[in-house]
Chain A
Amino acid sequence: MALRDVNLTIDKGEMAFLTGPSGAGKTTLFRMISAYDRPTSGAVSVAGFNLANLKSFEVPQFRRRIGVVYQDFRLLKKHTIFENVALPLEVRGDASGIVTKKVAEVLEQVGLAHRQGDKPEQLSGGEQQRVAIARALIHQPAVLIADEPTGNLDPQLSLEIMELFEKVNAQGTTVFIATHDVEIVRRKGKRVIEINQGQIIRGQ
């Protein structure tokens, strides 16, 4: 059991950071609130869905309402950057004209407009990370959950990405970011939740 007695509420439209040492349980918590793992006990409510009693057919409905940046990116290796970023729109059946336009927009925002036709393996770690960020944002999710989204980026790029997240947050998306980057956390002055050994020790 990687999490114990976690009791946490993040308000709609809020932007919060999750920090803590490696192995503290940040990713575990994110898996819980993004319907990656089914909660074994307790109640988890995100974007109006009660994840503890989520029916199988509701799982995709819920996942379309949130945007997730996975710590290990989870890009489709055999697909192009375009196809990777288009995924959240493709699975809900958006028209191809809209998809093309939105993919171009969001890739522009992360500075990768020129790499649409490449495969993930042709990109650097930081570039892949930005593809994952673009994919998490393209469908304007109600909640953005980003696990270590700037871990592979240089300080300048990290700042730009954080500004992008603030912009998205200003448009109404709830943003929850796990990070080790104390400098960024300090500069942004947002709510910080600290976790250690599966327990929240600050910011509850």
Chain B
Amino acid sequence: MSSHMLRSLARSWREHTGTQIATLVVLTGTFTIVALFLFAQANFVKILTRWGDNVQFAVFLEDAASQDQVSAVKAFLENSGRFKSVDFVSKEKAAETFRQQMGNNSPELLRDPEFGNPLPASFEARLLEGVDSKSSYDVLVDLAGRVISLPGVNDVSYGQGWVENYASLLKVFATSSWILLSVLLAGSLLIVGNAIRAAVQGRRDEIEILELFGATSWYVRGPLIVEGALIGLFASILSIGLCFALFQWQQKIAEENLGFWGLAKEVGFLSGTQIAIVLLLGLGFGALGSYLSVRRIATGWAAAERI
């Protein structure tokens, strides 16, 4: 960095200390939210994916289904390549499980041997891959459609309602975080631009003199763009520090209240890549915001035409 740039930076800090600090604070807040979003997105997806892993695929059989039909359904499920396990649950086992779960609350009827067993036999299959997107959900729907048309199958259950909700929840989360991030980053451009504009206003006369003695536009704009980039970078470094402090605080709470989401161990801090993204966003948006506010100064002829 040339001494010309260093002097320019030092002057901005001296002459516009208030603006610089305000800019730094607001930008740090903005980038902290951006970083928290990246953090939340990574972990939210992790949580939802784990949830999606537990989707149960149950195939209820007709009481009248023949032994051959039952074997055919089992073979179909096993050969589909979608499940890591396929377990048969007989009518008796189902009633047994039901009684255990209900305990003394189970309806009288079920305990009445005269009445018979209304629960159907079924296959319980565990998915090989969790539902983590619309497309993996669609695969599930398609599979269910084919299973239900097999002879001897009465119904198929795979948490239709909530799986659908879950898939759209993922989508809503992804979309809204992109919108919020865009708004915040656009705001950061304005904030940096504003700080740089203050610096420019304070040295209009000087910039004109530099131009009159042969300064190129980049000689004039360069230090201002570097200044914006440094404010952005500095703010992003501060925001990562702030996120780390928040993260440690969250970990401590999670440890003290065991079972707090049951996730304390699974939630990790921002990855190296994510930290690099935040730093680059700071640097890049700082430089861009600054560039946008100086692109009309020092254009060669424009000694009189100013921003």
Residues on A lying within 8 angstroms of B by beta carbon are: 34-38, 54-61, 63-64, 68, 70, 74-78, 87-88, 90-92, 96, 135
Contacts and interface: CB of A to CB of B under 8 A. Distances in A.
Name B's interface SS. helix
Contact of A38 (B209, B215, B301): B301
B300 A64 contact: no
B300 A76 contact: no
B212 A64 contact: no
A55 B300 contact: yes
B299 A92 contact: no
Leading 10 A-B pairs by shortest Cβ distance: A56-B300, A64-B214, A59-B300, A63-B214, A91-B215, A60-B214, A60-B216, A87-B213, A91-B214, A88-B213
22 contacts: A35-B301, A36-B212, A38-B301, A54-B301, A56-B217, A59-B211, A59-B300, A59-B301, A60-B211, A60-B216, A60-B217, A60-B300, A63-B214, A64-B214, A74-B208, A75-B209, A78-B206, A87-B210, A87-B213, A90-B4, A92-B214, A135-B213
B77 to A, nearest CB: 72
B303 interface: yes
A74 B2 CA distance: 24
Nearest to B2: A93
Contacts of A87: 209-210, 213
A187 B276 CA distance: 72
Interface residues of B, number: 21
Interface string B198-228: 0000000110111111111101000000000
Given A91-B215, A92-B214, A76 B209 contact: yes
A66 to B, nearest CB: 9
Contacts of A92: 214
B110 to A, nearest CB: 89
A74 B300 contact: no
A60 B11 CA distance: 24
Given A63-B213, A78-B206, A91 B300 contact: no
Contacts of A88: 213-214
A37 B303 CA distance: 8
Contacts, number: 59
Contact of B212 (A57, A63, A90): A63
Interface string B290-307: 000000000111011000
Contacts of B215: 60, 91
Contacts of A36: 212, 303
Contacts of B3: 96
A77 B11 CA distance: 13
A35 B213 CA distance: 11
Contacts of B210: 87, 91
Contacts of B211: 59-60, 63
A61 B219 CA distance: 13
B148 to A, nearest CB: 72
A76 B214 contact: no
Contacts of B216: 57, 60, 91
Given A76-B206, A78-B206, A91 B299 contact: no
Contacts of B11: 78
Contact of A74 (B212, B217, B299, B304): B212
Contacts of B206: 76-78
Interface string B137-162: 00000000000000000000000000
A68 B205 CA distance: 17
A75 B264 CA distance: 64
A82 B210 CA distance: 15
A38 B304 CA distance: 10
User: Which residue of B3, B209, B210 has the most chain A CB atoms within 10 A of its CB atom?
Assistant: B209
Contacts of A78: 11, 206
Contact of A56 (B205, B219, B299): B299
Contacts of A55: 300
B4 A68 contact: no
A88 B213 CA distance: 6
A60 B299 CA distance: 10
B303 A91 contact: no
A37 B213 CA distance: 14
A104 to B, nearest CB: 18
Contacts of A37: 303-304
